[in-house]
C-alpha cells in the first residue's frame, strides 16, 4: 500500500482542528499536538501543516518556518515520516480554527474562461440604475479622479472599485464584456492591449474613501448608498470563484452599515474608517484582506498558489517549487534587468527587489531564485519565456490550467511589486504575457443570444487602447 506522508498528515491535522474541542485547548497543548504531526523528508527538510490550512517548511539557514508548498515527487512524499521538529512552533503557525474554513476560491485570471453572462448582466443593471445620479451628490475622490471622466458619479467608481478589489488577479480579456461596460466612463486608456488588460489590484483605501468623504461632508444617505452599492456589487460577484473570497470579505465589512449607520462615526474624525472596516472582517475571511495589512504574507501566499498552479510539471519530471522560483526570477528580470552597468555597481533595481524578497522565501526557493537570475547557463534559466512564449516543457495541458497559471503568476507579480515598492509594468509581466499566448487563440465561452436593448448601445463600446512603457534599469544580485 502506497504511503503519502503529506496527504496523511494533512488529513490528520484537518480532523484535529475541525474538532470543536480544538479551540478550547491551551495554546501550548495545541502547539504540541501540531508538532507531533510534523514531517521529516529524506533530504532533511522538516514540514508542518499549520495555519491557513497550508504547509510550512523549516528554513535550514535562518531557522524560521516559511509558508511553502510541499513537494509533489512521489518518492519524497512516500519517504516522509512523522518526526517532531525539535524547535518551538510559533503561535502564528498554530491553526486558530476559523482559518481552516477559509474558501480560497479560484486563482484563474479572466482570460480564457469569461465572467459568466448572468454576472455581467446583473452588473450592467447596477450601472444603469446608478450612472445617472447627480455628480454633485456623488463626487469622485482620490485615485478615481485619474481613472474616470470628470462628469462621472462616484457610484460608477464604486462598482468598478469593488470589481477590481474583489478580483484575485485582475488580468482581463481585452474584449471582456464586464470591462466594456465602463468604456464610456473612463478618462484614459486601460493598461494593456487588445488581447489583455493588465489592471492593478484594487485599493480598499480608495473604495472606503468614496464612502468616508460623503459621511464626513454630512451627506450620510449618499455615503450609505455607496456602501450598499459596494455590498450589492460584491454579492453579484461572489457567484464567480475568482471574486468570491474577497467579495465575501467586502460584504462582511460594508453590509453592517445598512442596519447600523453609526458604526463608523467614531472613526470618521481621525481618518480611521479603513481600519474600522478591516476590524469588521470575520476571522474566517481575514486571509482575503492580507494585501491591505500584510504584503509580505500576501506575497508568500501568491507564490504558494503559483507552485500549486504548476503542479502539472511534476509529472514531467520537474520540481514545481523550483520552476515557480525560476518564473519569479524571469518576471523580476523583465522589470528590473539581470545585469548592471560598470559605471553604477550595486545600484540596480534587481538587487533591491531580491534583497526584499529573500526574507519571505525558504532557503531552497531563495537558492533557486538566485541561480536563475545569476547564472545564464543554469537549467532553471530554461524555464524563462523566449520570444514571448513559454518553453514547451511548461505549456499547460488545458485551458483551465493555463488560466490558473496566468492568474497565480500575475497575482505573484503584483504581490512582489507591492512588497518591494516597484511599479507594476502596465504592459504586464513576462511570464503572464507568455501564458496568454496559450489562451488567446482559443474560442471564448459561448454567450446566450438575446435581443439587445437600444439604450445599452453606448455601454457596449470601448476603445482599443495600449499603454507603452520601457524599463532600462539593470542590476546585480546580492549574495545569499
* Host H or E run for residue 122: helix 117-130
High-pLDDT (> 90) share of the chain, %: 83
Locate 154 and state its grid cell: 462616484
pLDDT computed for residue 319 by the predictor: 96
Residue 471: count of CB within 10 angstroms of its CB: 14
d(CA 50, CA 237): 30
Local confidence band at 3 (pLDDT 50, 70, 90 cut-offs): confident
Instruction: Output the average pLDDT for the chain.
Output: 89
Q: Kindly report which listed range (121-125, 322-326, 446-450) carries the lowest average pLDDT score.
A: 446-450
Q: Is the pLDDT of residue 247 over 90?
A: yes
C-beta separation of 207 from 162 below 8 A: yes
Does the predicted model carry a pTM greater than 0.85? yes
pLDDT computed for residue 447 by the predictor: 54
Local confidence band at 475 (pLDDT 50, 70, 90 cut-offs): very low
Q: Render pLDDT for 36-47 as a digit per residue (tens, 0 to 9).
A: 999 999 999 999
C-beta separation of 403 from 448 below 8 A: no
Residues 6+ apart with CB under 8 A from 25: 33
Q: Is the pLDDT of residue 289 over 70?
A: yes
Residues 6+ apart with CB under 8 A from 140: 148, 150, 152, 153, 154, 157, 210
The dihedral through the CA atoms of 65, 70, 75, 79 has a sign that is positive
Three-state DSSP state, 186: strand
Residues 6+ apart with CB under 8 A from 394: 310, 313, 323, 383
Three-state DSSP state, 395: coil
d(CA 432, CA 163): 21
Across 432-456, average pLDDT: 66
Local confidence band at 460 (pLDDT 50, 70, 90 cut-offs): very low
Q: Render pLDDT for 176-224 as a digit per residue (tens, 0 to 9).
A: 899 999 999 999 989 988 789 999 999 999 999 999 999 999 999 999 9
Amino acid at each position: 500500500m502506497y504511503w503519502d506522508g503529506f496527504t496523511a498528515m494533512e488529513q490528520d491535522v484537518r480532523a484535529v482542528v475541525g474538532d470543536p474541542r480544538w479551540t478550547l485547548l491551551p495554546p501550548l497543548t495545541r502547539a504540541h499536538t501540531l508538532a507531533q504531526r510534523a514531517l521529516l523528508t529524506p533530504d532533511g527538510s522538516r514540514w508542518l501543516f499549520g495555519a491557513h490550512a497550508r504547509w510550512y517548511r523549516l528554513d535550514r539557514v535562518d531557522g524560521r518556518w516559511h509558508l511553502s508548498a510541499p513537494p509533489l515527487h512521489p518518492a519524497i512524499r512516500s519517504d516522509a515520516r512523522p518526526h517532531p521538529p525539535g524547535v518551538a512552533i510559533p503561535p502564528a503557525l498554530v491553526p486558530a480554527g476559523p482559518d481552516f474554513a477559509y474558501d480560497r476560491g479560484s486563482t484563474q485570471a479572466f482570460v480564457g474562461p469569461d465572467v459568466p453572462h448572468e454576472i455581467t448582466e446583473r452588473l450592467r443593471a447596477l450601472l444603469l440604475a446608478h450612472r445617472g445620479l447627480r455628480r454633485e451628490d456623488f463626487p469622485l475622490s482620490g485615485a478615481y479622479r485619474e481613472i474616470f471622466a470628470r462628469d462621472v458619479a462616484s457610484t460608477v467608481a464604486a462598482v468598478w472599485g469593488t470589481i477590481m478589489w474583489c478580483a484575485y488577479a485582475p488580468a482581463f480579456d481585452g474584449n471582456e464584456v464586464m470591462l466594456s461596460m465602463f468604456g464610456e466612463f473612463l478618462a484614459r486608456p486601460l493598461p494593456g492591449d487588445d488581447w489583455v488588460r493588465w489592471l492593478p489590484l484594487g485599493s480598499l483605501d480608495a473604495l472606503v474613501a468614496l464612502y468616508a468623504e460623503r459621511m464626513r461632508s454630512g451627506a450620510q444617505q449618499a455615503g450609505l448608498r455607496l456602501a450598499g452599492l459596494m455590498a450589492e456589487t460584491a454579492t453579484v460577484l461572489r457567484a464567480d470563484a475568482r471574486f468570491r473570497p474577497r467579495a465575501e470579505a467586502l460584504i462582511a465589512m460594508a453590509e453592517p452599515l445598512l442596519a447600523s449607520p453609526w458604526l463608523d462615526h467614531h472613526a470618521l474624525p481621525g481618518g480611521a474608517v479603513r481600519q474600522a472596516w478591516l476590524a469588521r472582517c470575520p476571522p474566517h475571511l481575514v486571509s482575503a484582506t492580507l494585501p491591505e495589512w500584510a504584503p509580505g504574507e500576501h506575497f508568500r501566499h501568491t507564490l504558494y498558489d503559483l507552485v500549486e498552479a504548476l503542479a502539472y510539471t511534476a509529472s514531467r519530471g520537474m520540481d514545481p517549487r523550483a520552476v515557480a522560483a525560476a518564473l519569479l526570477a524571469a518576471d523580476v528580470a523583465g522589470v528590473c534587468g539581470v545585469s548592471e552597468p560598470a559605471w553604477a555597481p550595486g545600484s540596480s533595481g534587481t538587487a533591491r527587489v531580491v534583497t526584499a524578497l529573500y526574507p519571505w522565501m525558504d532557503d531552497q526557493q531563495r537558492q533557486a531564485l538566485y541561480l536563475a537570475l545569476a547564472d545564464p547557463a543554469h537549467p532553471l534559466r530554461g524555464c524563462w519565456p523566449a520570444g514571448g512564449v513559454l518553453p514547451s516543457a511548461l505549456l499547460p495541458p488545458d485551458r483551465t490550467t493555463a488560466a490558473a497559471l496566468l492568474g497565480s503568476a500575475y497575482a505573484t507579480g503584483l504581490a512582489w511589486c507591492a512588497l518591494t515598492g516597484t511599479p507594476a509594468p502596465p504592459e504586464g509581466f513576462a511570464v503572464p504575457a507568455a501564458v496568454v499566448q496559450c489562451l488567446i487563440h482559443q474560442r471564448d465561452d459561448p454567450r446566450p443570444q438575446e435581443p439587445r436593448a437600444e439604450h445599452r448601445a453606448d455601454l457596449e463600446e470601448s476603445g482599443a487602447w495600449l499603454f507603452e512603457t520601457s524599463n532600462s534599469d539593470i542590476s546585480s544580485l546580492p549574495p545569499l
